[in-house]
Amino acid sequence: MVKIGNTFSKYGKKAVLCGSGELGKEVAIELERYGVEVVALDKYADAPAMHIAQKSHVLSMLDGEALRKVILEEKPDYIIPEVEAIATPELIKLEKEGFNVIPTANATFLTMNREGIRRLAAEELGLPTSKYEFAQTEDEFKAAVGRIGCPCVVKPVMSSSGHGQSVVHDETEIDKAWKISQEGGRAGGGKVIVEGFVKFDYEITLLTVRHSGGTAFLEPVGHHQVDGDYRESWQPQYMTPTAKAQAQDIAKKITDALGGYGIFGVEMFVRGDEVIFSEVSPRPHDTGMVTMISQDLSEFGLHARAILGLPIPEVRFFGPSASKAIVVEGDTDSYEFENLEKVVEEPGVQIRLFGKPEIRGHRRVGVILATDESVEKALAKAERAYSKLSVKVD
C-alpha cells in the first residue's frame, strides 16, 4: 500500500535531488504534484530546480563528506541522482545504512562510469556494442586508438552531454582528442573509452520505465547531437518491427540488471534491423524532453510515479512531436528572451525557459516543443519557432 502524507507533516515524504538543472526541475514539479517535499542540491546557486524546491543546498556532490552531511541532515525518503557527477561510493554506503537511492546506488555507480556500464552490457549481459578499449594514460590511449582504428570516438569514462568527447578521424587528431578528454571530464582528467565508429542509419533513446506494475517502453525517440550534446529530438522514430523488438529486449535486459524503479534512457544505434547498445542513464534523458508535449505523462511524470511505487497501466501517446534545444553562446549572468509572442504563434508550439543564472561559453537555456501531423512537420515547426526567437546577451 502506497501512502503519502501532507507536506511537512510526520507522514509527509521528502526527496533530495542530487542535481538541479532543467531535468531535475521537471522532476521536482512532478513530485510536488503528489505533495512530496523537494530539497534541491547542485554545485551552483539558483539552479533551475532550486527555483521551485522547498529547500536547497549548494555543494560539490563529488565531495562525499559534504553529500553525507546534507543527507543526514535532511533524512529524505528518496535520494534521486539527476546528474552523473556524484560521489557514488558514498551513495552506496548511504543505501546500506537504509536510505533509498533511485533507482539503486549500484545503478548510479555503474552508469556514472562508462567502464562499469560497458563491461556490464558487453561482458556480463552479452549485448551487442561497438568495439572498445579503455585507457588510463596518454600512451595507453594512443595504443588503443591504434588497435581500434580510425575513425573512432573518444569519451572520458565520467562525463555527459558531450563534455570531453571527440571523434578521431585520423592520426593527426590523436593528441587533440586526448587533451579534450582530459579537460572535459565531469570529475577531471583520467580514464577514457575509445570506441570503434559505428556506421548507423539513426540513433535512438528508448525511454524505459521500471515500476511496481512491471516495465513499460515509450515510443522510440530519435535525436540529433552536436559533439555529443543533444540539439533536437523527435518521437516516434520509425523502426522496423524487428529492430523495435530487439531494442526493447536490450533495454529490458540492461534495466533489469540495474534494478530499482524509475525511468531509464537507453541509447542505441540502429542499422536496418540491427540494434547496438551505446549507453544508459538511470534518470530522465535530455532527448526525452519531447515527451512534455507528446504524451499524457512526460518522462518526468513517469519517473515520479515510478519512484513513489505507483503503477503505470498506460502511457497515452498523442502523436508526432519534436523538441529543439535553445543553446546560447556568451559570458554573462544577464540575458533576455525576445519575440516570444512570435515563437508560440503557431498552434502546437510550446516553449520552456529553464531560468539558468548564467551563461559561460555555450549553454542550453530552454527548449521549444512542437506537434504536427508527422515528425518531419513537427521538426520543421520547431525550427520555424526557433528562428523567430531572439536572445539578448549582455
Residues tagged active-site:
160, 162, 267, 279, 286-287, 364
The candidate with the shortest Cα–Cα distance to 364, out of 5, 23, 11, is 23
Answer whether 371's CB lies under 8 Å from 350's CB. Answer: no
The dihedral of CA 274, 276, 277, 278: what is its sign? negative
Give, for 275, the enclosing helix (H) or strand (E). Answer: strand 274-281
Q: For residues 196 and 183, give the distance between their C-alpha atoms in angstroms, rounded to a whole number.
A: 22
Widest distance between CA atoms in the chain = 63
| CA 225/CA 217 separation, integer angstroms | 22
Residues across the chain: 394
Structure-block grid coordinates of residue 51: 527555483
CA dist., res. 93 & res. 68, Å (int): 9
Contacts of 270 (CB under 8 A, 6+ apart): 200, 201, 202, 203, 204, 239, 243, 247, 276
Which amino acid is residue 105, in one-letter code? Answer: A
